[in-house]
Structure 1
């Protein structure tokens, strides 16, 4: 399995992990400027891998700043250009509102349990 672990500085609990084989990007913690370079690198890697479904697991996201929202908008455009489906899974109500505000509401889906993800052919949550 190809994967890339993107870790910010040790001072923040935020992190992103991407599984290039399945197209799953798992995000945890505060998505702010400290994580921005790593998040952008994960998005670039996902774009290059060209999976058919891009699943972004947001269940562990506790904060999202404007530059991070811009990354999600760019991710939507990249998915569209590659005819891939973008699924934003497990956003908190506040994050759902922000994503809807920037035009990503149609990509939001309720967070299934890890067993439901596995039965759908998507790897479960391994807590990045």
Structure 2
């Protein structure tokens, strides 16, 4: 897994242009010699901190706080949840909090359908 995380940084760096590439080169040059390559999660956080305006981060945090499944599929809701959740990490300090927040945003009908499906599965195997 470590190799895949570092390859992601190399791939992203290949696509950087102009100021972003100059920033990346400066960042890499300032790293201690012999230190391990950057991991994707570390790189993405530092990149966002440097290039994403504070107002945009605040807007996305509010979007996350208000996120509901709505007319989306569960998969689409999950993807939006995953993308926006990084802008409000203090709200989700544990996996339990993350799961509870995800479920809270689901449509009640979705929860009822999944609950019924789970019950039927238990009855078929029990």
TM bucket, shorter chain: under 0.3
From the two aligned structures, give the one with the greater strand fraction: 1
TM-score by length of 2: 0.25
TM-score by length of 1: 0.25
From the two aligned structures, give the one with the greater helix fraction: 2
